[in-house]
Amino acid sequence: MNVANIKILHIDSNHPLLWEQLKQEGFQNEADFTSSKQEVEAKIENYHGIVIRSRFKIDKTFLDKATNLQFIARVGAGLESIDCDYATAKGIHLIAAPEGNANAVGEHAIGILLSLFNNLNKANNEVKSGQWKREDNRGHELEGKTIGIIGYGNMGKSFAKKLRGFDVTVLCYDILPNLGDANATQVSLADLQERADVLSLHTPWTPETDKMINSDFINQFKKPFWFINTARGNSVVTADLVEALKSGKILGAGLDVLEYEKLSFETLFEGEKPAAFEYLLQAENVLLTPHIAGWTFESHQKLAQTIVDKICKIYQ
Ligand SMILES: O=C(O)[C@H](O)COP(=O)(O)O
């Protein structure tokens, strides 16, 4: 199909290959990384495609003005910033690129897991501040442990694949049936909560997963467990997580995502911090990273390539 008339608006910067390859394929690219949502809304009828990361929400108001839009491409995995049902009802193609950062997320979750089990973060801070504490930093081994994965899509599968070789049992739970594979056995949520020594969250943020990790949910676990979140901060009630850390029900937490992140994060350091957040900052068994699990040099490129391939497929 001739794509020379297809105008694509890029509202976030991405790996240059995205722009270059779309241009080579014959698409018309335009960039606008600074205009406000309202300003983009005012001109969106002139475009057939929009490429976004997460600068603003693509809501009903926006979509009603996007009268010629044929696709929305999100250079990432999560689609929560888009009113997907409304866009789909309008016949707009939705494209995401979870294949592009799944490997990075899987590797990052392994990094968190090994760090939690061996106190790497705490020990590093201590040695650098002149403390040589071996007994305090005695670690745990993964061998023989049971790892529970909730959400067995691209990210969960990537993490499970990386766990091969650690001599662990890997269980997965997902609302979709028949997802188990050679790397993980699919079980009921109750079964996972009964057996897991580690919980790693890999679900999208949806009404069903919003605040899913709360006290009730945590208390269903039979054993104390370690918790890893590389998915979405809003799936966790932080105050409940902190209670579980204090009581020892959660042995340690590695959080790449926080309910406080993005626009509100910097402002958190200006005034008095929420008590739960302050606790996470001080706790020695809590490892925090700034939403970088999928943020590698390699995934930057793979995300772009995935989006190019999927856009081209629409116009084949
Ligand atoms: O959804 C994703 O792929 C990741 O969470 C990264 O999202 P970001 O573009 O908001 O950094």
Q: What CATH number does residue 152 fall under? A: 3.40.50.720
Do both 61 and 208 map to the same domain?
Answer: no
Residue 264: what pLDDT?
74
Number of domains in the chain: 2
Catalytic machinery residues? 232, 272, 291
Q: Would you say residue 301 lies in a domain?
A: no
Residue 239: what pLDDT?
97
Q: Give the residue, by CA position, lying nearest to ligand 1 atom 6.
A: 76
Do both 48 and 189 map to the same domain?
Answer: no
For ligand 1, residues with CB inside 6 Å are 53-54, 76-78, 101, 291, 294
Angle at 87 between CA 85 and CA 88, to 5 degrees: 65
Alpha helices (runs of H) in the chain, residue ranges in sequence order: 16-25, 37-43, 60-65, 84-89, 98-118, 120-128, 154-163, 189-195, 215-219, 238-247, 263-268, 275-282, 297-314
- The answer to whether the pTM exceeds 0.90 is yes
From 198, 94, 96, 81, select the one nearest 153 (Cα to Cα). Answer: 96
Q: Which domain holds residue 65?
A: 7-96
> In the chain, what is the greatest distance between 2 CA atoms, to the nearest angstrom?
68
| Interval between CA 291 and ligand 1 midpoint (Å) | 8
Q: Would you say residue 162 lies in a domain?
A: yes
Do both 241 and 262 map to the same domain?
Answer: yes
| Interval between CA 174 and ligand 1 midpoint (Å) | 21
Angle at 126 between CA 120 and CA 127, to 5 degrees: 90
ipTM score assigned to the predicted complex: 0.94
Q: Measure the CA–CA gap between 55 and 33, rounded to whole angstroms.
A: 9
Do both 264 and 209 map to the same domain?
Answer: yes
| Interval between CA 76 and ligand 1 midpoint (Å) | 5
Q: Give the residue, by CA position, lying nearest to ligand 1 atom 7.
A: 76
Residue 260: what pLDDT?
85
**Exposed, middle or buried: residue 138 (CB in 10 Å: 0-12, 13-18, 19+)?**
exposed
Q: Measure the CA–CA gap between 127 and 110, rounded to whole angstroms.
A: 23
Residue 19: what pLDDT?
98
Q: Consecutive 10-residue runs of the chain (316 residues): their mean pLDDT?
A: 94 97 98 97 98 94 98 97 97 98 98 98 97 98 98 98 97 97 98 98 97 98 98 97 98 96 79 91 97 98 98 96
